[in-house]
Amino acid sequence: MDLMMIADLAAATVRISTPLLFAALGGLLSEKAGTFAVGIEGMMLAGAFTGAISAFVFGNVALGFALAALGGAATGSLLAFATARCRADQMVTGLAVNVLVLGLSSFLLRGLFGGRAPVIRLTPPGTWPLPWLSEIPVMGPVLFRQSAIVYLAFLLVVPLTLFLTKTRAGLTLRAVGENPEAAFAAGYDPIRIRMIAIVAGGALAGLGGAVLALQEVGSFTDGMTNGRGFIALAAIMVGRWTPVGAIAGCLIFGFVSALELRAQSWGLPVSSYVMQMMPYCLALALLAGVSRSARLPAAIGVPFIRH
């Protein structure tokens, strides 16, 4: 393995991690406020769909990203209404919403274009080489010649961490996830806050889906997220419910997926299916390793009932 291969692997890792990271940060918001984020798979897919369709129809990638966030948020609001308002089971509702989005996107893709799914080819957004950093030999060009949205994903961690640890709104959000009764007694409305957290998380996950469709793949196909939302969910847990931890988690899973793609060209004596299993097996193994010591938001999964 020479230097170029490592650089290539690093670039692929960053590229694959980006959509995961958006989804994981979105899911983190939702989980911190006390709602399991099983629905991020569906929110991602909704974002991928609205993002790709609007970029395809309007020919504008920026608009695609904006509408992708909207699509994710819309999915989130359905989930928020069902889980927070109607106290529907969070896990199973998330699952139901995932399938709903899968069906809806597949149906609309055909229904809106006269019965046949259009072939969507998108030009990925241009790269922004960072001054100086991109001049670093070998690693510079691969790591610091990315599109703006990639930097955004990784930079987002800073404001999100500050929000969750230093601002009143962020602390209230976490209080709702830990002890909604206490937050309620202090004058906050846990149901409303949980709903906002899910919808905001949905917007982020939608962006993640758009990154996948607009940048990584350059097209939309039915069910294209293919479990990435669940991997993001695992990344949140592996990262112990912190934004920085989520980066680590996403990079790990991104790296394994990158390995999976490269392993074929390196001619490793492992079948491609076994390689495809790797991210899921690794997720399970990592979760098995950290779960005992991880502390979930105390009131996660428990619906708030106003007495």
Q: Which of 181, 189, 216, 222 binds other proteins (CB under 8 A)?
A: 222
Residue 244 binds other proteins (CB under 8 A): no
Would you say 282 and 40 are in contact if contact means Cβ atoms under 8 Å apart?
Answer: no
Asked whether position 162 contacts other proteins by CB under 8 A, the answer is: no
Nearer Cβ to other proteins (60/110): 110
Q: Determine which residue in the list 59, 129, 159, 289 makes contact with other proteins, applying CB under 8 A.
A: 289
CA-to-CA distance for 302 and 235, rounded, in angstroms?
22
Q: What's the Cα-to-Cα distance from 238 to each of 24, 77, 196, 290, rounded to whole Å? A: 11, 26, 24, 7
Eight-state DSSP code of residue 212 = I
Query: What are 128's strand-pairing partners?
Result: 146
Of 18 and 83, the one with the shorter C-beta distance to other proteins is 83
Which tokens hold the place of 198? 């899910």
Cβ-based neighbour number of residue 34 at 10 Å:
32
Runs of H (alpha helix) within 59-123: 61-80, 90-111
CB of 54 to other proteins, least distance (A): 17
> Among 29, 46, 210, 233, which residue interacts with other proteins (rule: CB under 8 A)?
233
Interaction of residue 268 with other proteins, rule CB under 8 A: no
State which of residues 90, 146, 225, 242 lies at the interface with other proteins (CB under 8 A). Answer: 90
List Cβ<8 Å contacts ≥24 apart for 87-90.
87/303, 87/305, 90/35, 90/36, 90/38, 90/301
Q: In whole angstroms, how close is the CB of 90 to other proteins at the nearest point?
A: 7
Q: How many residues bind other proteins (CB under 8 A)?
A: 55
CA distance 187 to 183: 7
CA distance 28 to 24: 6
Do 226 and 14 contact (CB within 8 A), yes or no? Answer: no
From first CA to last CA, the distance across the chain in angstroms is 63
82 contacts other proteins (rule: CB under 8 A): yes
- Exactly one of 104, 118, 187, 191 binds other proteins (CB under 8 A); that residue is 104
Q: Find the part of the chain contacting other proteins (CB under 8 A) among 43-51, 105-113, 153-161, 180-188.
A: 105-113
Q: For residue 153, state whether it binds other proteins (rule: CB under 8 A).
A: no
Per CB under 8 A, residues contacting other proteins are 36, 38, 78, 82-83, 86-93, 95-104, 106-108, 110-112, 114-115, 222, 227, 230, 233-234, 237, 271, 273-274, 276-277, 280-281, 283-284, 287-289, 291-292, 301-303, 305
